[in-house]
Chains A and B, each alone.
Chain A
Amino acid sequence: MHKGYLCLVLHGHLPFVRHPEYEDFLEEDWLYEAITETYVPLIAVFERLVADRVDFRITMTLSPTLISMLSDQLLQERYLKHINKLIELAHKEKERTRWQPGFQDLPSMYLNEFLSARDTFLRYSCNLALAFKKFQDLGKLEIITCGATHGYLPLMDTCKESVRAQVKVAVSHYESIFERKPRGIWLPECGYHPGHDTILKEARLSYFFTDSHGVLHGNPRPKYGVFAPVYCKGSGVACLARDLESSKQVWSSIEGYPGDYSYREFYRDIGFDLEYDYIKPYIHPDGIRINTGIKYFRITGTGNHKEPYIPRLARDKAAEHAGNFIFNRQKQAGYLYDFLGKKPVIVSPYDAELFGHWWYEGPLWLEFLIRKIHFDQDELKLITVPEYLSENPRNQVITPSMSSWGWKGYSEMWLQGPNDWIYRHLHNASNKMTELAKTYPRVNGLTGRALNQALRELLLAQSSDWAFILGTGTHTDYAIRRTKDHLLRFSRLYDEIKQGSIDEGRLSEIEYKDNIFPGIDYSVHQ
C-alpha cells in the first residue's frame, strides 16, 4: 500500500565563469567537467527512463548562471574542443594500458563516455538546458529556479532591493528559457531569512526549501516536523524542509554510500599520476597538472594502496545501495504514516554535481533507485511539490527559522574571518544600485545600457561561491579577483552614470565579458 512520498531534489549550480579574453581559462573547466561527468550522465539516465516508459519525478534546480553558461556559444565551442581532446587522450590511453593487468576495459569505458557526452551535447544543439527542458515538458522533471547569481540572501537582508533583484532576474531569465513561469525556487545555499518569502510571493513563486531546522525551529512548532509542507505566515508561500536521515545516507562518513570501497577513487586522476611530457597536452597550457576525469582506481580501503576499478562490482554496489535507500525510506514512510496519520513527504535534496563528478556511480544509483521505485514496490512514490500541494492543500502556517544548509546551519560559512570583508563593499554597491534605480527610472539608450550592466556586475559580485571559496581558505585568488573585478566595474559605472560621462568603448567591453542576462532590467533593483 502506498504510504508516503519521496521528493528528490537535485541542485544544479555553478558560478558564472566565462573569460573570452583568455584562450584557456582553468576555472572554465568546472563547467566542462560537470557537463561530462554530471549533466550528460543525468540526461542519459532520464533518456533511458523515458525510453523504457518508467514514470518518474525529479525536482531540479538549474541556477541562472548555470543555464547562462550552458546556453553560451563561446563556452559551447570551448566544450567541444575540451571533449575532443579528452577523446584523443582516451584513445592514447587504450593503447598505453594494453599490458596493464586489470586496466583493459577502463580506457574504453572512458572513451565511450566521452564519445557519448559529445554525442549528447551535439544532439541537443550544444545546449543542454534544452535537454532538461525536454524532460520538464514531458512532465518528468520539475525545474526550479534559484537566485540569479546564487547570492546568499540572508546576508543581503539589509539590502532587500538586492534580494528582490536576485529573485526577479532569475524568474524572468527562467521564463525566457523554459517558456513558462517557475513554480518553485531553491534559495541559494538553502539560505532562508524570515520575510524573504514575501519577495518570493511578489515573484509568484509558490514554494521553496529550507534545511531541517528551518522548519523544525519554526514558530509555532510544526506539527508534522519536516514531513509535510508549511505555509509561511504572511505570504502563504509553501516551505519544505530537508530530511537529514536520507541526506546522511548519501553523504555521511559513517553511513554514506559514496565512500564504498568498490566505488571509484576521486583523487587518483591520470592528470596527476602520469608522466609529465605525455600528459602535458591535456593539462593546463601553463603546465599546471589538473584532473582530466580519467581515473583508474577504486577506493579500495583506507590506505594509499589502490586497486584497479572494476565497473561490474561498482554497478552491483550502486544497485544494492539504491535498494537499501528504498528499504530505509519505506521503513521511514511506513513508520511516519502510522505515526502522523497521513502520508509524509520526505524531501531529499543533493548537490547535483555530487552525482557523477564527486560520486562517479551517483547517476547509476539514481537510475536504479527510480527503476526500483517504479517496478519493485508500491509503498513509496516520487512526487513534486506542486503535485503534493494540490493533493494536500491544507497545511499549517508558521514562520520558518533563519537557516541554511551550510556548515553549522546558519551563515558562518559565508561570514567568517577570510570572507567577512566583502559585505561592506557588497552592501555599499547594493545601496548605490538602489539609488541609481530611483534616480534614473525608465532610462534607455547608453545610460540604460550602463544601468543594466551595473546591475549585472553587482549580481555577479554577489555569488555565494566567491565567499564560499574564500571561506575554505584554499586557492582563493580567483574568488578574490572576481569579487574585486565586479565591484570595481560596478563603481566605475556608477561614477560614470552619475557624472553623465559614460565611456561607451569600455562599457561595450564589459558587456562582452560579462554577458550574462541579456534581457536584464535594472529597475527590478528596488
Chain B
Amino acid sequence: MAKIKRVSLKSKAKSKKASRKKTIPARKLEEKKDVLSRQEVAIEAGKFSHAKSMAMQDYSKETLPSEYGRETMVLAVRDPWWLYTYWEVKGSTWDKHKSELKEEFYKAKRILRVYDVSNIVFNGLNANRFFDIQVREDASSWYIDIGSPGRSWCVDLGILLSKGRFITILRSNIVETPIDGPSWITDEEWMIPDDMFARLYGMGFGLGRSSPAGGVWRKGVISSPGIASMASPTKKQLPRSFWLEVNCELIVYGATEPGAKVTVQEKPVSLRHDGTFTLRFALPDGKQVIPVKAVSRDKLEKKTITPVVNRETK
C-alpha cells in the first residue's frame, strides 16, 4: 500500500483554511465553472424547446400525499458546503411526547442537531462536534450550511427542552461531503511535485493560464473576429421593451380550365381539381412583374395576364 503524505498545494501553508485561499483559487474556479455550466444548462434546456402548457384534459386530478405515514429522515449532499434533509414524523410520535412532557413540550424548540461524524463510528454521543438549527414546527425539510467540505455528517431532528435536554425524534443516514479542492493526500507510487500538479489542475479546468492551448486561443492568433466578439452561445435574445415588425406577402390567385397548364413567372403551377390556383409570396420592396400564362389542354389556346406590383416601405 502506498504511503500517505500530507502536502499543501502550492506554498507550505500554515493551516488548511489559509492554504485553500492560496492554492488554485477555488473562487475563480467556481466562477469559471459557473459561467460554463450556466451555458450548459441553457443548451440542455434547448432540448426541451416549447415545453409550453399542454391541454391536459384527462390529467389526473389526484395529488401526491403530503405524508406517507412513516417515520423517516433522509440526509443528502447538495454540494461540498450544503446538505439537504427532509423528514416525516408520525402524529402518534408527537402525541407520545406531548403526553410525556406535558407543558414542557409546548415550550420546547424544534431542533436539527447536525453532528460532524468524520472518521468515527457514530453512536449518538461521540460526534466530533455538533451544532443546532432551530426549525419551524411546520417545516419538513431544510438546507443546512455546514461550512466545511470533506466531512461526514449525521442529523437528528429533536426537541430541545428549556432546561437544555435534547430528545431525539429521528436520526438521519450518514453522508459524506466532497472536498472542495484537490486532495491533500498523495501516494508515493504516483507522486507528483506540487507545482506540477498545480499546473495540471489548472489545465484540467481549462483555466488557460498554464495551458499553451488556452494562451494561443486567447491571443487570437487564429481566432475569428466572430468569436472574439461573440454574441453568446446561450444566444439569449436581447431584452427589448417595445418593438414592431411589419412584413408583406402577396397572394396571387386565379382560375382557368381544369387540365390547362399554368406558369407564373415561367414556373409551372399545380392547379386544383376545379382549375383554381393560389400562390403566396414574401413581397420585398421593389417592383414585381408577375406574368401568369395559361395554355389549354390541347395547346391551341394561350392567355397571359401580367400583374405588376410595387412595394415601397417608408
A304 at the interface (CB under 8 A from B): yes
Per-position binary interface string of chain B over residues 229-261, scored 1 when its CB falls under 8 Å from any chain A CB and 0 otherwise: 111111101101001000101000000000000
Specify the chain B residue showing the minimal Cβ separation from A286: B55
CB under 8 Å from chain B, chain A span 198-227? 212-213, 215-227
**Given contacts A219-B185, A251-B36, A328-B213, A428 and B50 within 8 Å (CB-CB):** no
As a 0/1 sequence over residues 264 to 277 of chain A, the CB contacts with chain B under 8 angstroms (1 = contact) are 01110000000100
Nearest to B5 among chain A residues (CB) is A220
**Roughly how many angstroms separate A275 CA and B51 CA in the complex, as a whole number?**
22
B23 CB to closest chain A CB (Å) equals 12
Binds A, one of B94-102, B160-168, B176-184: B176-184
- Segment at the interface with B among A77-85, A93-101, A129-137: A93-101
Interface members, chain A 66-121 (any B CB < 8 Å): 92, 95-101, 103
B170: Cβ under 8 A from any A Cβ: no
Chain B nearest CB: distance from A390 CB in Å?
Answer: 21
The residues of A that contact B72 with a CB separation of less than 8 Å are: 427-428
Q: Which of A44-52, A440-448, A478-486 contacts B (4 or more CB under 8 A)?
A: A478-486
Contact B49 A33, beta carbon cutoff 8 Å? yes
Query: Beta-carbon contacts of B48-88 to A below 8 Å, as 1s and 0s?
Result: 11111111101110111000101010101111101010101
Assess whether B217 is in contact with A255, with CB atoms less than 8 Å apart.
yes
A392 within 8 A of B: no
Contacts of B227 in A (CB 8 A): 255-257, 259-260
* A-binding segment of B14-22, B39-47, B109-117, B294-302: B39-47
Distance in angstroms from A80 CB to nearest chain B CB is: 21
Q: Would you call A503 an interface residue if the criterion is a C-beta within 8 Å of the partner chain's C-beta atoms?
A: no
Q: A301 interface residue, CB < 8 Å from B?
A: yes
A-binding segment of B122-130, B131-139, B276-284: B276-284
A245 pairs with B178, CB closer than 8 A = no
Q: Contact at A95–B279, with CB atoms within 8 Å? A: yes
Residues of B17-36 contacting chain A, CB below 8 A: 30, 32-36
Beta-carbon contact of B204 and A216 below 8 Å: yes
Tell whether, in the assembled complex, residue B51 and residue A96 are in contact, meaning their CB atoms are under 8 Å apart: no
A424 → chain B closest CB, angstroms = 5
Across the two chains, which residue of chain B brings its CB closest to A95?
Answer: B279
Provided the pairs A33-B49, A221-B183, A301-B231 are in contact, do residues A320 and B224 lie with their beta carbons within 8 angstroms? yes
- Are A410 and B182 within 8 A (Cβ)? no
Cβ of B191 and Cβ of A248 under 8 Å apart? no
Measured between beta carbons, the chain A residues less than 8 angstroms from B107 are none
**Within the complex, what minimum Cβ distance (angstroms) separates B188 from chain A?**
9
- A-side interface size class: 35 or more
Which B-chain residue is minimally distant from A428 (CB atoms)? B68
Interface size on B, residues (CB 8 A): 110
Against B, the Cβ 8 Å flags (1 = close, 0 = not) of A161-187 are: 000000000000000000000000000
CA distance A418 to B223 in the complex (A): 40
Taking CB atoms, residues of chain B closer than 8 Å to A512 are none
A363-371, A376-384, A468-476 - interface stretch:
A468-476
B78 and A411 form a contact (CB under 8 A): yes
Smallest beta-carbon distance A19→chain B, Å: 9
Min C-beta distance of A355 to chain B, whole Å: 11
- Contact B206–A244 (Cβ < 8 Å): yes
Contact between A291 and B50, CB atoms less than 8 A apart: yes
Q: Which of B46, B140, B141 contacts A358 (CB 8 A)?
A: B46
Q: Given the complex of chains A and B, what is the CA–CA distance between A304 and B37 in angstroms? A: 25
> Per-residue CB proximity of B189-206 to A under 8 Å, as 1/0?
111100011011101111
B238:A304 contact, CB within 8 angstroms = yes
Cβ of A511 within 8 Å of any chain B Cβ, yes or no, is: no
B147 within 8 A of A: no
Q: Compute how far the CA of A353 lies from the CA of B88 in the bound complex, rounded to whole angstroms.
A: 40
Contact B181 A488 (CB under 8 A): no
Known: A332-B213, A415-B78. A481 touches B56 (CB 8 A): yes
Contact between chains at A252 and B39 (CB < 8 Å): yes
Instruction: Determine how close the nearest CB of chain B comes to the CB of A367; give it in whole angstroms.
Output: 19
Contact of B49 among A227, A291, A317 (CB under 8 A): A291
Per-position binary interface string of chain A over residues 8-45, scored 1 when its CB falls under 8 Å from any chain B CB and 0 otherwise: 00000010000001000111011001100000000000
**Interchain CA distance A46-B86 in the complex, whole Å:** 48
Taking each of B33, B177, B191, B199, which has the highest tally of chain A beta carbons within 10 Å of its own beta carbon?
B33
- Determine the chain A residues whose CB is within 8 A of the CB of B307 once the complex forms: none
A413 to B38, CA, bound (A): 10
Q: Is the CB of B183 within 8 A of A253?
A: no
**B281 and A331 contact, CB distance less than 8 A:** no
Query: B192 and A245: CB pair below 8 A?
Result: no
Query: Is the beta-carbon distance between B56 and A477 smaller than 8 angstroms?
Result: yes
Are A407 and B288 within 8 A (Cβ)? no
Given contacts A227-B200, A252-B39, A478-B54, contact A155 B217 (CB under 8 A): no
Tell yes or no: B120 within 8 A of A by CB.
Answer: no
The answer to the question of B121 belonging to the interface, with a C-beta cut-off of 8 Å to chain A, is no
* From A357, A415, A425, contact of B47 by CB (8 A): A357
**Residue of B at shortest CB range from A250?**
B233
Is A375 in the interface zone, CB < 8 Å from B? no
**B195 shortest CB reach to chain A, Å:** 11
A220 touches B36 (CB 8 A): no
Q: Which residues of B contact A (CB under 8 A)?
A: 2, 4, 30, 32-41, 43-56, 58-60, 62-64, 68, 70, 72, 74, 76-80, 82, 84, 86, 88, 140-141, 173, 175-187, 189-192, 196-197, 199-201, 203-206, 208, 211-214, 216-218, 222-224, 226-227, 229-235, 237-238, 240, 243, 247, 249, 265, 267, 279-284, 288
- A-B CB contact pairs (8 Å), 24 listed: A95-B281, A97-B281, A154-B77, A225-B200, A245-B208, A253-B39, A253-B232, A256-B233, A266-B235, A291-B49, A303-B238, A324-B222, A328-B217, A339-B196, A339-B200, A353-B46, A396-B190, A415-B84, A423-B74, A424-B68, A424-B74, A424-B88, A475-B52, A485-B59
Q: Which 9 A-B pairs have the closest CB atoms?
A: A225-B200, A244-B206, A245-B206, A410-B79, A475-B51, A260-B226, A223-B190, A259-B230, A328-B213
Q: What 16 new A-B contacts, CB under 8 Å, besides A324-B223, A327-B222? A: A26-B51, A30-B47, A30-B48, A95-B280, A99-B283, A220-B183, A225-B203, A243-B206, A245-B214, A252-B233, A259-B235, A332-B211, A402-B178, A412-B79, A479-B51, A488-B60
